Chains A and B, each alone.
Chain A
């Protein structure tokens, strides 16, 4: 029988079973376009949609009309144009300017009175016109050389980090970590079990530990891609702040991914059909989508359910991500959340390995 067998004393790296098993995870994932869409494209589409829908608008700048009649009018127009808090529009005829005022295309008209002065034409009942009157006058007087006797400095308090997009990006990241962890393990394992492939593997010398490790390895790899795409997009497109240490953030993400992997394993430990495990996964994830503060703060729920919400893994993950990114919290600052996440990690893995059915 010697001609039929080839002995391989030292194995190439790619011939090791842990490498082969991990490669299978990659191949099955990337050859499933739906999975790639839901993991990478969908969170970004969601972020774009939410970012646009809830973007905060600056108050509109008052529009001031000028009729280009003489040199004074030209001076007025020049002064107005220098002021960035308003918009000036020049009209060539009186009629056109009056029409623009009547139809509220401009808030006020600033015209030359023919003696070197300015005349405001406006309706004082319209609040934007009243404001425009003040803004226009300040611009014209300053342009003509008026100096303010009291020195002025400003501190603008609109902060990055307080916008809705800043709130929702860490939430989407948490949701993504949960979804990929639970689906990634749950679906693949139950699919193999329902096709008797898991049983077939059990008939080989394959190491069970390596089989499970291959899921964690591939999760860690895809985790990097998921986090980098979503956060990269948030930072580039919406200037979402990243105030905490990136290393801390990476550790939070890794811990969270492992924990949700454990939950996925637990969910998959007994289910025999893909339909069965899908129902189970939705049953586990749906409450967390709603309660754990992905799209809106979990503080909106009554205080009686707060303790329950706090011990959900996704709540802890979202809170830790937000504390790191928006408040620049250290790992110590998110210790309570990390404890909750780690507890779920231990509980889910212990229960999953105890319940797991290999056949």
Chain B
């Protein structure tokens, strides 16, 4: 049970790879039970930020507090409480869905029943199928199942729906909403504005390693709504996409 009110607290986070400054003084403040979105173009520093929060990368400077703990002092405890989906993991193709989840389950002291998790991500029929035979959407749901099987208090999802067809995306959304409904926290990065609008309680727009706007999707749209000319195809209302373009001068999938 989490006792702090912050699921995640990031202050003045900095990280550079040689000359490339990936994260440049980033601040985040995420409450327990919140679904928080990081949106930004490629190279904005989202993955770097999330991996530092996951304890997978060392930071150059700044403070990171996860579930009221720090990586330096409580690393092992933290790993028990986090569920993680990385942007680019390929699970072993030779194992079956069930074998993969039993493996991940075995790492955690407490966790969920493997069969329940498989059913929750709707892979029941694929229980004994090799991972190599799954579709992209099924693989992604398996990745999320691996994140859920340790029964985490905080879920990190890095572009969970990138490259998926609309139907697969919607299935993932309902999965994420199901997790949110249990009162636990999610940090997710995405390219898709509709995804952030639908899932996130609050959104931070990140560019060049910094948060350039923060608020609920509605607040962000409102704050910008008056200042931008209504774009012709969506004349009725401004969207988060418009906010993004107005602030960064780029569309989201620009490099």
B94 within 8 A of A: yes
A354 within 8 A of B: no
A158 within 8 A of B: no
Complex-state Cα separation, A204 to B79, whole angstroms: 5
Which chain A residues lie closer than 8 Å to B150 at the CB level?
Answer: 204-205
Complex-state Cα separation, A7 to B112, whole angstroms: 8
B46 within 8 A of A: no
Complex-state Cα separation, A19 to B102, whole angstroms: 11
Q: Is the CB of A205 within 8 A of B56?
A: no
Which of A36-44, A115-123, A194-202, A336-344 is the interface stretch? Answer: A194-202
Complex-state Cα separation, A200 to B54, whole angstroms: 10
Q: Is the CB of A32 within 8 A of B89?
A: no
Which chain A residues lie closer than 8 Å to B184 at the CB level?
Answer: 1
Which chain B residues lie closer than 8 Å to A206 at the CB level?
Answer: 107
A-B residue pair count with CB separations less than 8 angstroms: 90
Contact string against A for B residues 106-128, beta-carbon threshold 8 Å, 1 for contact and 0 otherwise: 11111111001000000000000
Complex-state Cα separation, A24 to B92, whole angstroms: 9
Q: Is the CB of A4 within 8 A of B56?
A: no
The size bracket of the interface on A is 20 to 34
B88 within 8 A of A: yes
B22 within 8 A of A: no
Q: Which listed residue, B76, B94, B104, B151, touches A5 by the CB 8 Å rule? A: B151
Q: Is the CB of B84 within 8 A of A200?
A: yes
Contact A195-B90, Cβ < 8 Å, known A6-B112, A359-B56: yes
For window 187-213 of chain A, which residues contact chain B by CB distance below 8 Å? 192, 195-197, 199-206
Q: Is the CB of B56 within 8 A of A202?
A: yes
Q: Is the CB of A205 within 8 A of B107?
A: yes
A31 within 8 A of B: yes
B164 within 8 A of A: no
Contact A8-B110, Cβ < 8 Å, known A21-B103, A197-B92, A204-B79: yes
Complex-state Cα separation, A126 to B75, whole angstroms: 89
Contact A7-B110, Cβ < 8 Å, known A197-B89, A197-B91, A199-B86: yes
Complex-state Cα separation, A228 to B104, whole angstroms: 34
Q: Is the CB of A24 within 8 A of B182?
A: no
Complex-state Cα separation, A4 to B152, whole angstroms: 10
A16 within 8 A of B: yes
Contact A24-B91, Cβ < 8 Å, known A6-B112, A7-B110: no
Q: Is the CB of B84 within 8 A of A31?
A: no
Contact string against A for B residues 41-78, beta-carbon threshold 8 Å, 1 for contact and 0 otherwise: 00000000000001110000000000000000000100
Which chain B residues lie closer than 8 Å to A204 at the CB level?
Answer: 79, 84, 104, 107-108, 150
B156: nearest chain-A partner, CB-CB: A203
A194: nearest chain-B partner, CB-CB: B90
Q: How far is the CB of B116 from chain A (nearest CB, A)?
A: 8
Q: Is the CB of A28 within 8 A of B103?
A: no
Which chain B residues lie closer than 8 Å to A23 at the CB level?
Answer: 99, 103
Which chain A residues lie closer than 8 Å to B106 at the CB level?
Answer: 15-17, 19-21
Contact A28-B95, Cβ < 8 Å, known A4-B112, A8-B110, A16-B106: yes
Q: Is the CB of A31 within 8 A of B76?
A: no
B105 within 8 A of A: yes
Complex-state Cα separation, A146 to B54, whole angstroms: 98
Q: Is the CB of A205 within 8 A of B92?
A: no
B177 within 8 A of A: no
B109: nearest chain-A partner, CB-CB: A205
A57 within 8 A of B: no
Which chain B residues lie closer than 8 Å to A7 at the CB level?
Answer: 110
Q: How far is the CB of A36 from chain B (nearest CB, A)?
A: 13
A358: nearest chain-B partner, CB-CB: B56
Q: Is the CB of A196 within 8 A of B102?
A: no
Contact string against A for B residues 179-195, beta-carbon threshold 8 Å, 1 for contact and 0 otherwise: 00011100000000000
Q: Is the CB of B55 within 8 A of A203?
A: yes
Q: How far is the CB of A20 from chain B (nearest CB, A)?
A: 4
Q: Which listed residue, B56, B104, B108, B182, touches A1 by the CB 8 Å rule? A: B182
A27 within 8 A of B: yes
Complex-state Cα separation, A239 to B173, whole angstroms: 67
A202: nearest chain-B partner, CB-CB: B56
Complex-state Cα separation, A7 to B150, whole angstroms: 11
Q: Is the CB of A196 within 8 A of B88?
A: yes
Contact A196-B99, Cβ < 8 Å, known A4-B112, A4-B182, A15-B106: no
Contact A195-B89, Cβ < 8 Å, known A5-B110, A7-B110, A202-B56: yes
Q: Is the CB of B94 within 8 A of A32?
A: yes
B183: nearest chain-A partner, CB-CB: A1
Q: How far is the CB of B171 from chain A (nearest CB, A)?
A: 19
Which chain B residues lie closer than 8 Å to A20 at the CB level?
Answer: 102-103, 106
Q: B residues near A, CB below 8 A?
A: 54-56, 76, 79-80, 82, 84, 86, 88-92, 94-95, 99, 102-113, 116, 146, 150-151, 182-184
Query: What would be 12 A-B contacts, judged by CB atoms less than 8 Å apart?
Result: A6-B111, A8-B110, A15-B102, A21-B106, A196-B88, A196-B90, A203-B54, A204-B79, A204-B84, A205-B107, A205-B108, A205-B109
Q: A27-B95, A205-B80 are in contact. List 6 more A-B contacts (CB 8 A).
A: A20-B102, A20-B106, A27-B99, A199-B86, A200-B91, A205-B107
